[in-house]
Amino acid sequence: MERTDFIENRADVIKNIYTLYSYLGSNSEEERDWALNRFKQGKWYIVEPFGNMLFFAPSRFVGYKNNNIAKHTENHGDGTQTNEYFRRNRLYKISEDEFLSKQFNNFMLSIGIDKESAQFFIPYNQEISDLQSGHKCYFICPTHCSGQKEDAWKSFFEKGIMAIGWNNTDYSNYTLEEITKEYVDDAKAIAAFTLIKQIKEGDIICCTNNAYGLWGIGIATSSYRFKENIHKAGVDDDGEEAYYSHYINVAWICFKEQGFIPTSDLHIHAPEKMWQPYGTLTQKDIPQYITDYIILKANHTNMETTNRCNEYIALLEANKNLILTGAPGTGKTYLAREIVTAMGAKYEFVQFHPSYDYTDFVEGLRPTPLDSRGNIGFERKDGVLKEFCKRAIKRNGSCDYASMLQQFKKDLRNSTIELKSFRSDTIIKVSINDNGVISVPEKSNWVASDDKMINYLKTRKCHPNDTYTKTIGDYILEKYKKEEDILNYVFIIDEINRGEISKIFGELFFSIDPGYRGEKGRVKTQYQNMITNEDDPFYEGFYVPENVYIIGTMNDIDRSVESMDFAMRRRFAWKEIKANENTGMLDNFKELKDEIVSKMNRLNNAIWNEETNEGIEGLSAAYHIGGAYFKKLELYDYENNLPEAYRQLWENHLRGVLFEYLRGSFNAADNLKKLEEVYYSKGRYE
């Protein structure tokens, strides 16, 4: 049966995109796999800006209204129909661009999909430059009428808008100067109209509930529009019904079915500040707490998990390198992935083992295919870490340098800027001449063309004696380069202690040191003389970029722990993960989770109780059983026969590892029997 429930506007599409992303980050493995298959099978992808992020989604899924797993499974519809609908109704247009391809490939790799090609639809009235440009965040109160904010918010939500009041005059074709003349004695009106006329598609819109929280967070899908009395704001203090006529279309994506998002849920950390509690409309650069909340909601990640991750993120950001250590099965690898998700970072995952070496990790000689004579040659190939660092540098350098330069020149038009020379305490006075070129008046013959400055911003290179270019360029990079232009990259090394560390890292012991991140930590590798491409970022030596972090995991009781020498240990921060601290991996068990955690804690207290320092002689908390073992209940029919699933878990998984723990110890058989009894019954270890 043919589907006819096509979307009606871009807000419908954005909501569908958000739905698909929520499946992608769901706690349900079935939902995640379903979403991954949608991305794998897609041929055409809709592109939508969510603030300073680009979201991608298969056109076939987002082309039908309020789509979900059930609807799409029953009838997935025809992709050619949705594509034609997008074009015919001028909602989206076809676009081929290297920028989109790179952004798409980065996203797909982040979810574990290597997709060679795709085709894109972008919003009909936008260009690639619009998708590349920065966005703002706007905070708006839904009404000026006291005690009626909830009803006013419902009007915003149901109509998919935000709106402001004042005169019922359509200002679509008015300049800001013309609007100002109408409100010459009303500074609040001028401020509000100044901002609403600046809002563009993709900007973040937040509807405020004073200082208590946000009614909702949405994405602007239009610029300024007018419709008389489109929004009922309520009844004002004079008993008159108040209506607003100036509005923006908004796709509201983050909200609560009942009530509002409390400020505590947003986790605003200094130096970030919240919105102004009162006032009509205000503007800010997009706060990180808003970006985090949007991503968290899309990924179904609960705020409790995020709070827990914040501790590890702070430790990782301060030290650059972190090792998660603890008993087997405590979810160290699971936690590492959670940390990466909470950071919004790209990541690579490898697992060390005894045969892993420098060639795999850094670089080495690899055989080439047979030539025409049947001979095999060898060529230098980057290892997994070096390739990862190249991607990080590439992303780190993808800033819009032209925009940065233009902002600097805009500031120069207002006044001369005084900069301290990078060589000495000399003050350099920088201005812009009549031809719009950067100049230093005190050095009348010195000017810097836009091309010259952009080349420095991209390469950080200029003539050794060119003090002005470097001083000005470094200032631009420091002041105008936005945080969001630099994406974090995290390299996860599972079982880091199982490899021969000195053989794998080689001379990289120096460059991974937290104090030598970036080009100051550049080292000559063993194969340096074989790098002949001058465009290779490591042509002059290898270094670990400042936006690259390393997380290693290791089990406390592995004998290979002893292979971690002190030179390596001091380059990492260490954090022990306890079995009872990391139970998020058991969330899929829903209401059964508490019972499973109780059983796990009971068994671990019998192995070794850290509060009473009592347990089985020769064991310690390092021998606790982690949640990953109990997650194996999913292998059995626990929903229909839980007692049998518990038995299978003991016989097939727990008994064997506990037997190895106790092998050769005094009263091994008796202690194993005691642990079995504790596992099956509550006893005094509850």
Question: How would residue 303 be classed by pLDDT, with cut points 50, 70 and 90?
Answer: very low
Instruction: Give per-residue pLDDT as tens, 201-240.
Output: 999 999 999 888 999 999 999 999 999 999 999 988 888 8
CA-to-CA distance for 575 and 581, rounded, in angstroms? 12
Instruction: Give per-residue pLDDT as tens, 146-182.
Output: 888 999 999 999 999 999 999 999 999 999 999 999 8
Residues shown for the chain:
686
Among 37-46, 178-187, 374-383, 674-683, name the one with the lowest average pLDDT. 674-683
- CB 573 within 8 Å of CB 339: no
- Could you give the 3-state DSSP secondary structure of residue 60? helix
Sign of the Cα pseudo-torsion (373, 376, 381, 383, in order) = positive
Secondary structure in 3-state letters for 167-210:
CCCCCCCCCHHHHHHHCCCCHHHHHHHHHHCCCCCCCEEEEEEC
- CB 142 within 8 Å of CB 149: yes
- CB 432 within 8 Å of CB 392: no
Question: How would residue 656 be classed by pLDDT, with cut points 50, 70 and 90?
Answer: very high
Instruction: Give per-residue pLDDT as tens, 114-142.
Output: 776 789 999 988 888 888 888 899 999 99
Provide the pLDDT for residue 400. Answer: 65
CA-to-CA distance for 525 and 506, rounded, in angstroms? 9
Question: How would residue 629 be classed by pLDDT, with cut points 50, 70 and 90?
Answer: very high
Beta-bridged to residue 349, according to DSSP, are 492
Q: Please calculate the CA angle 92-98-104 and round it to the nearest 5 degrees.
A: 70
Provide the pLDDT for residue 162. Answer: 95
Residues 6+ apart with CB under 8 A from 618: 665, 666
- CB 438 within 8 Å of CB 430: yes
Higher pLDDT, 568 or 639: 639
Confidence check: pLDDT of 34 > 60: yes
pTM of the model: 0.49
- CB 195 within 8 Å of CB 126: no
- CB 196 within 8 Å of CB 248: yes
The interaxial angle of helices 467-480 and 401-414, nearest 10 deg, is: 100
Provide the pLDDT for residue 564. Answer: 64
How high is the mean pLDDT of the chain? 86
210 closest CA partner among 261, 135, 267, 161:
261
Instruction: Report how far apart, in Å, the C-alpha atoms of 461 and of each of 202, 468, 470 are.
Output: 35, 12, 8
CA-to-CA distance for 538 and 93, rounded, in angstroms? 40
Provide the pLDDT for residue 224. Answer: 94
Tokens of 360: 């795999």
- CB 499 within 8 Å of CB 558: no
Q: Where are the alpha helices (DSSP H) in 89-186?
A: 98-110, 128-132, 149-159, 176-182
Question: How would residue 366 be classed by pLDDT, with cut points 50, 70 and 90?
Answer: confident
Provide the pLDDT for residue 562. Answer: 54
Residue entry with tokens 């076939």 = 60
Provide the pLDDT for residue 396. Answer: 53
Residues 6+ apart with CB under 8 A from 334: 582, 584, 585, 628
234 closest CA partner among 225, 243, 245, 226:
243
Provide the pLDDT for residue 685. Answer: 52
The interaxial angle of helices 450-459 and 467-480, nearest 10 deg, is: 70
CA-to-CA distance for 657 and 675, rounded, in angstroms? 12
Instruction: Give per-residue pLDDT as tens, 538-555.
Output: 999 999 999 999 999 988
437 closest CA partner among 456, 458, 412:
412
- CB 226 within 8 Å of CB 233: no
Instruction: Give per-residue pLDDT as tens, 257-270.
Output: 778 888 888 888 77
How many alpha carbons fall within 13 Å on the CB side of residue 657? Answer: 19
Confidence check: pLDDT of 278 > 70: yes
Provide the pLDDT for residue 208. Answer: 93
What mean pLDDT do residues 31-44 have? Answer: 87
Instruction: Give per-residue pLDDT as tens, 335-363.
Output: 898 888 777 788 899 999 989 999 999 99
Instruction: Report how far apart, in Å, the C-alpha atoms of 312 and of each of 183, 322, 492, 627 are.
Output: 51, 9, 14, 19
Instruction: Give per-residue pLDDT as tens, 72-90.
Output: 888 888 888 888 989 898 9
- CB 260 within 8 Å of CB 215: yes
| Cα dihedral: 334, 336, 337, 343 (round 10) | 150
Confidence check: pLDDT of 482 > 80: no
User: Highest mean pLDDT range out of 189-198, 286-295, 373-382?
Assistant: 189-198
CA-to-CA distance for 104 and 128, rounded, in angstroms? 14
Residue 490, classified by CB atoms within 10 Å of its CB into exposed (0-12), middle (13-18) or buried (19+), is buried
CA-to-CA distance for 419 and 38, rounded, in angstroms? 53
User: Highest mean pLDDT range out of 39-43, 305-309, 371-375, 489-493?
Assistant: 489-493
The percent of residues in the chain predicted with pLDDT above 90, rounded, is 34
Residue 261, classified by CB atoms within 10 Å of its CB into exposed (0-12), middle (13-18) or buried (19+), is buried
Higher pLDDT, 397 or 85: 85
CA-to-CA distance for 481 and 401, rounded, in angstroms? 8
Provide the pLDDT for residue 239. Answer: 85
